Structure 1
Amino acid sequence: MLPRIPASCSRVPPPLASARSQTFKAFYATIRSLRQPPPDPEDPPPDNDFILSILRANPSLRDTRSYLASFGPRPKPPSAPSADRVPAASKDLSTAQSIPVALEHPKPSPVLSSLLDPVVKRTALVKIQGPFTDVQLDSIARGMVYLEKLGLVSVIVVENDTLQRGEQDERAALIEETMRIVTVLEKQGAKARPVLGAVVKLGPKPGDDEFPESPDFSPPEAHTVPSDLGPIRSALRAGEIPVIPPFALDSFCRSIRVDSNDVLGALARGMVEAAESDTAQSNASPDVLSEEVDLTPLRLMIINREGGVPSYARSGYPHLLINLDSEYSHIHETFHEPWHTTNPTALSNLALAKTCLAYMPPTSSAVMVSHRSPSSLIANLITNKPALSSSLPHALLQGNRRLTAHTPTLLRRGLPVRVLRTVSEIDRPKMNALLEQSFNRILDEEAFYQRLERTLDFIVVAGDYVGTAIVTNEPCPGSPEPISYLDKFAVLPSHQGDGTVDFLWVALHDESYGLGHPFSANPNGGKGGVGEGRDLVWRSRANNPVNKWYFERSSGHMRMGSWVMFWCDAEKRLKLEQARRAGAGLSYVEGWEKGRLAQWGSVVGTIPSAWK
């Protein structure tokens, strides 16, 4: 018989007693789940939603190749022939030929096999920014389980916006929330492990003060070293999702609550450094598979109740794709005052993405998503693209029902974007390399630059010549105004699919047919949205696979033999014309449109080739 506990010692405040009871139940559920037998095969989990989520992602061939490069089977070194292997010339071919073809087992599709059974496990840093209801947590946990099936294992950091710093029992409340998430994950079929001890330390990392501070970047207020990541490594090795409350060790080795953004920033840096240390110590070839989960974070996922970062250019709807390198300050400057109430953590999460992506690989991305859109995480993982392309026409995005307050925001480290006005500003060797690699043809350099000397309007350059858009003014017979012609639009193959194409087209829009609208005042070193927009015209080979992309972004197109001519109407003029006609609407061909296609066609068809 157990000894009786005095009543005076057993009195616990009701809220805290309830919290402790729930914590114990969650912990017991965690241990109990390890002892449960596997589910009955006659009662399989509902995987239809998982398959549909993959299909809705609609990945292109390039997206699929990129996914397989990260998660698919990697080539293995050829094995030496065994001693007992019989030479092919001495085999009894009649035996082999007598095997019916029907008995041969078909090989599974490598794409399907890799999507549904990934070989390589990668990690994602996930911020679950509650509070959430049980139903909302179920939806979020289902998304985490789907990502794990695709090879992306989440390292989750918990946050609760309603729990103020310094509140009584805040530590118990955060532990309770951590255990609640563990329980929900296991309910959805995943293995999860609470990591309740602090894995980061407060303060800058020793040695950081030796490096000058950058005005555009500040390191996290916490740090970690590889030895601190033992609990996370242990959970990942066991196939479990680590769930971490926002605790850190202070200078007195006390575990205290800190901002979850500091924990995430410290983990992003520490996990990258630990992965680099693992590679250096093992001296393993990249072609050799490791049993360890790659600690380098591939994604940062911020799941909250607000959704993405609201955009002044989209009437408060979220940004679709953010180039942190060139847009970070501009977003702060254009952040409307009411959004501080409706989206109170948008800017702090924007800073978190900038901090984490500074340490993560260049191909990594961050996504800010509402709890209402967990399935979009699968699309982001497979395609690494925003839910809707940011370079689509503004009117189309505004009228698209899929663009809502809960549309996710994709964030990339990005590239600087600048506008050149003269040929003398061009770095010719870099421009030549960019054009020749993009088009896989030899540039007729002398003739090309001579033509630009006569006709150049402006050039948009992304990064260190990884992408460019060249616009010229082509004389038009019978018209006082030259044609604004997109002569070249090129992105290096190594940067196709990483957001550079959209960054480049948005800057092109802002400098040409989008001029005059306030949402064209983006920081690309150009006119800042001030001026009158002009119709933009270009041509493309009829068999160019990029034409589908052009069809979606143009106002119209016309076949010209082996060419297709595209154009984008000046948006400000269209807006004024629609306002003038009020409810009458625009006709199929307005007066100012008559004859312009013939004029454009006569000019565009005579522009000489730039290639040898």
Structure 2
Amino acid sequence: MLSYTPACRQLVGSCSALNVRRSQTFKAFYATIRSLREAPPTDIDDVSADNDFILSILRANASSRDAKPYFASFGVPRPQSRLPAPVLPQHDDSIPTQSLEPTPPIEHTKVSPLIASIIDPVVRRTALVKVQGPFSQVQLDSIARGMVHLEKLGLVSVIVVENDDIHRGEQDSRSAVIEDTMRLVSCLEKHGSRARPVLGAIVRLGPKPGDPETEQDFISPEAHTFPSDLVPIRSALRSGEIPVIPPFALDSFCRSVRIDANDVLGALARGMVEAGSQNSSSQVAASADASIEASGEVDLTPLRLMIINREGGVPSYARAGYPHLLINLDSESKHIRETFQESWRHTHKTSLSNLALAKTCLAYMPPTSSAVMVSHRSQSSLIGNLITNRPAVSSSLPHALLQGNRKLTPHTPTLIRRGLPIRVVRTTEEIDRTKMNALLEQSFGRTLEEKDFYDRLKHTLDFVIIAGDYAGAAIVTNEPCAHLSRPISYLDKFAVLPSHQGDGTVDFLWVALHDESYGLGHPFSVNPNGGKEGQGEGRDLVWRSRANNPVNKWYFERSSGHVRMGDWVLFWCDAEKRLRLEQERRGRAGLSYIEGWEEGRLASWIDIVQKIPSCWRK
């Protein structure tokens, strides 16, 4: 039997109770002549769609912690809830008390404000979606169903249609693209949504007038848009419709011509962000008096970029061609291009161009935004990505677990974030103490004994991994051990600013830590972060954590083992290359007993770690 987190059970319970009433109200209010062309769906179809929606949420299996980004974006507090307060039975002396049924517990009648915001979001958000065909009718139905599910959760798609088999300049290519657009519109309406084809050009060819000529680390789109050009999109969103757009643009002669869909998406990302920022103050004022609910206004600033294609994610050299799970564009995009195998240029023809598209769009979108590249076979995973804003499988898990994980398939989505630069320093002189102190104190909520801390690092420091401008850091020291031939590698501090928790920085930092310590010697550790770049022998990594630390669950998943030491827990990660060699030596028997190199090491680690002084003021 499947087990789900309390957050999922709470969400599904509210879905089943409120979805029927909300669906009927929605359909009655937005009934149009176009929606009446086809026969209304039967009750069986409604139930099937509702079950599919609920199962998609359950598969996300999100904890309350995982769902915090979703609640922060969609669960905006409201002065007045749309859901009426529950009416509880009151004692009345005029009614015989013995005739009353036992009063149900109060908690069963309460509606969680978080669930209310999910089922009926206050502020709807937008997502830019590239539907990159060609797709069969069955595949298009699956994609449309996913878009409808996302709309129910408050994320409204602005879709740009592309067809790789219809080349620009071909005869009747324009009419073929329009036909694809109308097919998707029909599929969306068939699955209970309302869609509007926006067949007129909404972007203009060429750079935007007045843009300064400055060097950028991303490819600027060959198109632009003005606020007035977005009127059709804004009108569709206000009317509760999903705009579906073919890749057309106005040239200098005001002719509508077909262009690359990536240029349309790049221009829309910039234009919608600019329009959203211009209207942010008025939207805040509107939400304060709840008039935004009546106006049906939608925040134009894109929260997600979704690229739905036939290829899936970006293939990874570290996973034998299986997709990257999480990409830090700032530090990894160049390396991904350099390691992109020639055979992938035939099987994943558009991976690199879509990666460039993600970099362009995310450069304009808010820092919390992300992009996801997904196969049409995995459209249901978009709900999990929306709720958690995390990859389907964490990239910081041990490589052995990733290799054997059933969730890791050729169709696993790739989550892409703007990310942060990662660098490695090896001396205390290279550390900005002011910024490091602020990072450690904000992350741990304690005051640092600065002098004692840095005096110890002068003698023991091995390396420091720094993410961005001290948004996160991992400090590793060499702790002498009389019983072992070499010092132990000790993770002294692992810290991320609270403002960067949940944006991928934790995973980016841990992957870099893996590549610089216990993952050394493997080809997949060759990452250009300024460190050893995969060269050398991996070393066991040891660290400790308070027994009541809520992060320990995360550590348990990433460590090779742990042992309790009173108020502390000792964790360690074995050098992966040595484990692989030992496993090959023993064949299929596995490592089921203590090897010679393991004897006595645990007692030595405990002895050393217990003697490491605290760096915090008491």
- TM score, norm. by length of structure 1: 0.89
Which residue among 420, 430, 434 is the counterpart of 2:439? 434
Shift, 1:363, TM fit: 0.2
1:315 aligned onto 2:311 = no
Alignment of 1:573-592 (within 5 A): 573-592=578-597
Corresponding residue of 1:106: 109
SS in 2 for 1:296: strand
- Assess if the C-alpha contact under 8 Å between 1:298 and 1:364 holds in 2: yes
Which residue among 503, 506, 510 is the counterpart of 1:501? 506
Shift, 1:174, TM fit: 0.4
Corresponding residue of 2:146: 143
SS in 2 for 1:419: strand
Shift, 1:562, TM fit: 1.3
Corresponding residue of 1:460: 465
Alignment of 1:53-132 (within 5 A): 53-76=56-79, 102=103, 106-132=109-135
Corresponding residue of 2:270: 269
Alignment of 1:514-533 (within 5 A): 514-533=519-538
Q: List runs of 5+ in structure 1 lacking aligned partners.
A: 1-28, 79-92
Moved more, 169-178 or 572-581: 572-581
Shift, 1:96, TM fit: 13
Shift, 1:114, TM fit: 2.1
Moved more, 177-186 or 63-72: 63-72
SS in 2 for 1:605: helix
Q: Distance in 1 between matches of 2:78 and 2:189?
A: 34
Alignment of 1:247-326 (within 5 A): 247-279=248-280, 284=285, 287=288, 289=290, 290=292, 291-326=296-331
SS in 1 for 2:612: coil
Q: Using a 3 Å threshold, how does the CA distance of structure 1 residues 124 and 34 change in structure 2: closer, same or farther?
A: farther
Q: Distance in 2 between matches of 1:271 and 1:357?
A: 12
Which residue among 369, 372, 376 is the counterpart of 2:377? 372
Which residue among 133, 146, 163 is the counterpart of 1:160? 163
SS in 2 for 1:186: helix
SS in 2 for 1:173: helix
For 1:274, the aligned partner's letter is: A
- Assess if the C-alpha contact under 8 Å between 1:30 and 1:186 holds in 2: no
1:346 aligned onto 2:351 = yes
Corresponding residue of 2:46: 44
1:448 aligned onto 2:450 = no
- Assess if the C-alpha contact under 8 Å between 2:196 and 2:236 holds in 1: yes
Root mean square deviation, CA, Å: 2.4
- Name the % identity: 74
Q: Using a 3 Å threshold, how does the CA distance of structure 1 residues 602 and 188 change in structure 2: closer, same or farther?
A: same
Q: Distance in 1 between matches of 2:591 and 2:63?
A: 36
Q: Using a 3 Å threshold, how does the CA distance of structure 1 residues 586 and 288 change in structure 2: closer, same or farther?
A: same
Alignment of 1:163-174 (within 5 A): 163-174=166-177
Aligned residue pairs: how many? 569
Q: Distance in 2 between matches of 1:340 and 1:98?
A: 80
Q: Distance in 2 between matches of 1:113 and 1:41?
A: 25
Q: Using a 3 Å threshold, how does the CA distance of structure 1 residues 39 and 405 change in structure 2: closer, same or farther?
A: closer
Q: List runs of 5+ in structure 2 lacking aligned partners.
A: 1-30, 82-90
Alignment of 1:193-208 (within 5 A): 193-208=196-211
Residue by residue, what CA displacement relative to the aligned partner does 1:383-422 show, whole Å, maximum 9, x if unpaired? 0000000000111111112111100000000001111100
Q: Using a 3 Å threshold, how does the CA distance of structure 1 residues 128 and 30 change in structure 2: closer, same or farther?
A: farther
SS in 2 for 1:486: strand
Q: Using a 3 Å threshold, how does the CA distance of structure 1 residues 288 and 332 change in structure 2: closer, same or farther?
A: farther
Shift, 1:30, TM fit: 8.9
Shift, 1:347, TM fit: 0.1
Q: Distance in 1 between matches of 2:152 and 2:196?
A: 17
Shift, 1:542, TM fit: 1.1
Shift, 1:42, TM fit: 7.9
Residue by residue, what CA displacement relative to the aligned partner does 1:144-175 show, whole Å, maximum 9, x if unpaired? 00000000000000000111121110001000
- Assess if the C-alpha contact under 8 Å between 2:309 and 2:375 holds in 1: yes
Q: Distance in 2 between matches of 1:119 and 1:276?
A: 18
- Assess if the C-alpha contact under 8 Å between 1:419 and 1:526 holds in 2: yes
Q: Using a 3 Å threshold, how does the CA distance of structure 1 residues 581 and 65 change in structure 2: closer, same or farther?
A: closer
Alignment of 1:217-228 (within 5 A): 217-228=218-229
Q: Distance in 2 between matches of 1:522 and 1:149?
A: 40
- TM score, norm. by length of structure 2: 0.88
- Assess if the C-alpha contact under 8 Å between 1:320 and 1:388 holds in 2: yes
Shift, 1:522, TM fit: 0.8
SS in 1 for 2:180: helix
Shift, 1:265, TM fit: 0.3
Shift, 1:246, TM fit: 0.5
Residue by residue, what CA displacement relative to the aligned partner does 1:322-344 show, whole Å, maximum 9, x if unpaired? 00001010100000000000100
- Assess if the C-alpha contact under 8 Å between 2:465 and 2:513 holds in 1: yes
- Assess if the C-alpha contact under 8 Å between 1:539 and 1:566 holds in 2: yes
Shift, 1:111, TM fit: 2.4
- Assess if the C-alpha contact under 8 Å between 2:78 and 2:122 holds in 1: no
